[in-house]
Amino acid sequence: MKYLPRKALALARKEIFSYSISPAFYGIGIFFLLFTTLWFFYFQRFFSLNTATLRPFFSAFPLAFIMVIPVITMKSWAEERKLGSVEILLTMPFSEWDLVLGKFFSSLAVLTVIMALTVPVPLSLLPLGSFDAGVILGEYAGAFLLGSSATALGLFLSCLSKNQAGAFLGSAVVLLFVMLASQFTMTFNLPLWLSEGINFISLSFHFESFSKGLIDTRDLAFFIITTVLFLFFNTRVLLFRKWR
């Protein structure tokens, strides 16, 4: 465990370089920026709200993640499995946690860069009203935690898939459910126990407090626990393949 961060970061640097020369990285970066901006100014009609809030802007993040995160994570393990290089990785002097964290750090770094592209949007609006900088930072922190949990989930599903297409489809469908599950509880008159259960597994539900600029320790714990849990599941899948 002493050398785990160094090895994982070394692997992450290699993965980040491969992302930087991939057209998909630039494509999803442009998509994310255009989607969140159009959602905010066109669909949510920010200028007609007459309120200095960026909450409608950040409400687009969970929706955009449904498409963006599967693109980032789909080749992480599925492509390695298709090419047969995952077996080579498992024979190298890296633990399962080294490999999983290397993939996770690189994918999360790419997602963070993509989210950073949206920073000019709130900056350009600051002179137009009395926005609370602390609230905006809280909203970005929540988006980062939401992305972290969804990325860990996407990597786990990529590890289970045989190819990139299957990894993308599987991740997109699962993320669609966990992002929009809380909408069912608001749309349909469900029993209280069922509504609470659905809300508990909904990533967007736990993001709501952050989108208001509030940091709820329960939601913070949820994102951290789910991230670690899906990374752990990923290591178990690798360990199973190593000794199969």
For residue range 192-240, list pLDDT tens digits in order: 888 888 888 899 889 988 887 788 899 999 999 999 999 999 999 888 7
**Lowest-pLDDT choice from 13-17, 126-130, 207-211:** 126-130
**Residue of higher predicted confidence among 48 and 183:** 183
Rounded to 10°, the helix 60-83/96-116 angle is 140
Q: What is the pLDDT of residue 24?
A: 84
Is the CB of residue 32 less than 8 Å from the CB of residue 119? no
Q: Distance between CA 219 and CA 216 in Å, rounded? A: 5
**pLDDT for the residue 143:** 94
pLDDT tens digits, 134-183: 888 989 999 999 999 999 999 999 888 888 888 899 999 999 999 988 88
pLDDT number for residue 2: 46
Report yes or no: 121 and 41 within 8 Å, Cβ to Cβ: no
Residue 226 CB contacts under 8 Å (≥ 6 apart), including other chains? 149, 152, 153, 203
Mean pLDDT of 102-118: 94
The pLDDT of 53-65, averaged and rounded, is: 90
Report CA-CA distances (Å) from 134 to 18, 207, 230.
35, 16, 30
Q: Do residues 109 and 12 make contact, with C-beta atoms less than 8 angstroms apart?
A: yes
pLDDT in tens, 71-102: 999 888 777 776 666 667 767 777 888 889 99
CA dihedral 181, 113, 68, 24 (to 10 degrees): -170
Is 201 within 8 Å of 181 (Cβ atoms)? yes
Query: What is the pTM for the complete model shown?
Result: 0.90
User: What stretch of H or E contains 2?
Assistant: none
Q: Quick one: average pLDDT of 27-38?
A: 93
Where are the chain's structural domains? 4-243
Contact 36, 64 (CB under 8 A): yes
Contact 110, 70 (CB under 8 A): no
